[in-house]
Protein backbone atom coordinates (compact mmCIF):
# COMPACT_ATOMS: atom_id res chain seq x y z
CA UNK A 1 0.00 0.00 0.00
CA UNK A 2 1.09 3.60 -0.64
CA UNK A 3 -0.18 6.91 0.65
CA UNK A 4 -2.20 7.28 -2.57
CA UNK A 5 -4.49 4.51 -1.28
CA UNK A 6 -5.56 6.83 1.55
CA UNK A 7 -7.87 9.82 1.52
CA UNK A 8 -7.51 13.01 3.53
CA UNK A 9 -10.31 14.87 5.20
CA UNK A 10 -10.59 17.84 7.53
CA UNK A 11 -11.44 16.87 11.07
CA UNK A 12 -14.36 18.41 12.91
CA UNK A 13 -15.79 18.57 16.42
CA UNK A 14 -16.86 14.91 16.25
CA UNK A 15 -13.22 13.87 15.74
CA UNK A 16 -12.07 15.37 19.05
CA UNK A 17 -11.77 11.96 20.72
CA UNK A 18 -9.70 10.59 17.82
CA UNK A 19 -7.41 13.62 17.92
CA UNK A 20 -7.03 13.25 21.68
CA UNK A 21 -6.26 9.55 21.23
CA UNK A 22 -3.53 10.38 18.72
CA UNK A 23 -2.03 12.93 21.11
CA UNK A 24 -2.06 10.36 23.90
CA UNK A 25 -0.45 7.70 21.69
CA UNK A 26 2.19 10.17 20.47
CA UNK A 27 3.26 10.99 24.02
CA UNK A 28 3.07 7.34 25.03
CA UNK A 29 5.47 6.50 22.19
CA UNK A 30 7.80 9.17 23.62
CA UNK A 31 7.85 7.35 26.95
CA UNK A 32 5.31 9.24 29.05
CA UNK A 33 3.39 7.12 31.56
CA UNK A 34 -0.27 6.77 32.39
CA UNK A 35 0.06 9.10 35.39
CA UNK A 36 0.68 11.99 33.01
CA UNK A 37 -1.28 10.76 29.98
CA UNK A 38 -4.63 10.47 31.78
CA UNK A 39 -4.85 14.07 33.04
CA UNK A 40 -3.30 15.45 29.83
CA UNK A 41 -5.90 13.64 27.71
CA UNK A 42 -8.77 14.86 29.89
CA UNK A 43 -7.63 18.49 29.74
CA UNK A 44 -6.72 18.37 26.04
CA UNK A 45 -10.14 17.04 25.03
CA UNK A 46 -11.83 19.91 26.88
CA UNK A 47 -9.38 22.36 25.24
CA UNK A 48 -9.64 21.09 21.66
CA UNK A 49 -13.43 20.77 21.31
CA UNK A 50 -14.23 24.51 21.32
CA UNK A 51 -11.19 25.27 19.15
CA UNK A 52 -12.30 22.76 16.51
CA UNK A 53 -15.67 24.53 16.52
CA UNK A 54 -14.37 28.12 16.31
CA UNK A 55 -11.66 27.37 13.72
CA UNK A 56 -8.68 28.09 15.97
CA UNK A 57 -7.61 24.44 15.70
CA UNK A 58 -7.63 22.77 12.29
CA UNK A 59 -6.88 19.10 11.82
CA UNK A 60 -6.59 16.68 8.95
CA UNK A 61 -7.00 12.93 9.09
CA UNK A 62 -5.68 10.26 6.72
CA UNK A 63 -8.34 7.62 6.17
CA UNK A 64 -7.25 4.07 5.29
CA UNK A 65 -9.01 2.06 2.59
CA UNK A 66 -10.94 0.19 5.32
CA UNK A 67 -12.35 3.49 6.64
CA UNK A 68 -10.23 3.64 9.79
CA UNK A 69 -8.23 6.72 10.78
CA UNK A 70 -4.59 5.92 9.99
CA UNK A 71 -2.94 9.25 10.80
CA UNK A 72 -3.67 12.81 11.75
CA UNK A 73 -2.18 16.17 12.56
CA UNK A 74 -3.32 19.49 13.92
CA UNK A 75 -2.67 23.14 13.17
CA UNK A 76 -3.31 25.52 16.07
CA UNK A 77 -3.72 29.07 14.82
CA UNK A 78 -2.18 31.22 17.52
CA UNK A 79 -2.77 34.94 17.87
CA UNK A 80 0.71 36.48 17.93
CA UNK A 81 2.00 40.00 18.58
CA UNK A 82 3.47 41.90 15.64
CA UNK A 83 7.07 40.85 14.91
CA UNK A 84 10.03 43.20 14.43
CA UNK A 85 9.20 43.62 10.74
CA UNK A 86 5.89 43.41 8.94
CA UNK A 87 2.35 43.24 10.24
CA UNK A 88 1.20 41.06 13.11
CA UNK A 89 -0.45 37.85 12.09
CA UNK A 90 -1.52 34.54 13.40
CA UNK A 91 1.18 31.95 13.78
CA UNK A 92 0.63 28.30 12.92
CA UNK A 93 1.65 25.72 15.49
CA UNK A 94 1.80 22.15 14.15
CA UNK A 95 0.79 19.66 16.85
CA UNK A 96 -0.27 16.05 17.27
CA UNK A 97 1.35 14.58 14.17
CA UNK A 98 0.69 10.88 14.62
CA UNK A 99 0.51 7.77 12.43
CA UNK A 100 -0.89 4.46 13.67
CA UNK A 101 1.81 1.77 13.74
CA UNK A 102 0.34 -0.37 10.93
CA UNK A 103 0.34 2.63 8.59
CA UNK A 104 3.82 4.03 9.17
CA UNK A 105 6.51 4.52 6.51
CA UNK A 106 3.97 5.23 3.76
CA UNK A 107 4.44 9.01 3.62
CA UNK A 108 1.22 9.87 5.47
CA UNK A 109 2.87 12.31 7.88
CA UNK A 110 4.53 14.11 4.94
CA UNK A 111 1.21 14.22 3.09
CA UNK A 112 -0.55 15.67 6.14
CA UNK A 113 2.23 18.20 6.75
CA UNK A 114 2.19 19.36 3.13
CA UNK A 115 -1.60 19.74 3.32
CA UNK A 116 -1.33 21.94 6.42
CA UNK A 117 1.56 23.98 4.99
CA UNK A 118 -0.37 24.53 1.74
CA UNK A 119 -3.33 25.72 3.83
CA UNK A 120 -1.02 28.15 5.65
CA UNK A 121 0.36 29.54 2.38
CA UNK A 122 -3.15 29.98 0.96
CA UNK A 123 -4.40 31.70 4.13
CA UNK A 124 -1.57 34.13 4.88
CA UNK A 125 0.05 32.24 7.75
CA UNK A 126 3.69 33.28 7.34
CA UNK A 127 5.27 31.57 10.34
CA UNK A 128 4.78 27.95 11.34
CA UNK A 129 6.35 26.38 14.41
CA UNK A 130 6.42 22.93 15.95
CA UNK A 131 8.19 20.89 18.60
CA UNK A 132 9.86 17.91 16.97
CA UNK A 133 10.19 14.47 18.46
CA UNK A 134 13.37 12.58 17.69
CA UNK A 135 11.45 10.39 15.23
CA UNK A 136 9.89 13.36 13.42
CA UNK A 137 12.87 15.67 13.19
CA UNK A 138 14.17 14.46 9.81
CA UNK A 139 10.74 14.89 8.20
CA UNK A 140 10.40 18.45 9.49
CA UNK A 141 13.93 19.37 8.44
CA UNK A 142 13.24 18.00 4.94
CA UNK A 143 10.24 20.36 4.77
CA UNK A 144 12.44 23.36 5.63
CA UNK A 145 11.89 23.69 9.40
CA UNK A 146 14.93 25.00 11.25
CA UNK A 147 15.79 24.92 14.95
CA UNK A 148 15.26 28.17 16.86
CA UNK A 149 16.53 29.57 20.13
CA UNK A 150 13.34 28.98 22.13
CA UNK A 151 13.84 28.42 25.83
CA UNK A 152 11.39 27.15 28.42
CA UNK A 153 10.77 27.58 32.10
CA UNK A 154 8.19 25.42 33.85
CA UNK A 155 6.77 27.05 36.97
pLDDT, tens digit (0-9, with 9 covering 90-100), for 14-58? 999 999 999 999 999 998 988 999 999 999 999 999 999 999 999
- Residues 92 and 56: their CA atoms lie apart, in Å, by 10
Q: In whole angstroms, give the CA distance from residue 96 to residue 74.
A: 6
CATH of domain 3-142: 3.40.630.30
Round to the nearest angstrom and report the end-to-end CA distance of the chain: 46
For 49-125, where are the E strands, in sequence order?
57-63, 69-78, 91-99
> Tens digit of pLDDT for each residue in 88-110?
678 899 999 999 999 999 999 99
| 2 vs 9: CA distance, rounded Å | 17
Amino acid sequence: MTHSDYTLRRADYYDAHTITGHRRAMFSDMGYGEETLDPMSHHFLAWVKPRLTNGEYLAWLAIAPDGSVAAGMGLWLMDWPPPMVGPGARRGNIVNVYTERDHRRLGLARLLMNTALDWCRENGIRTVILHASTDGRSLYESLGFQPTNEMRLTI
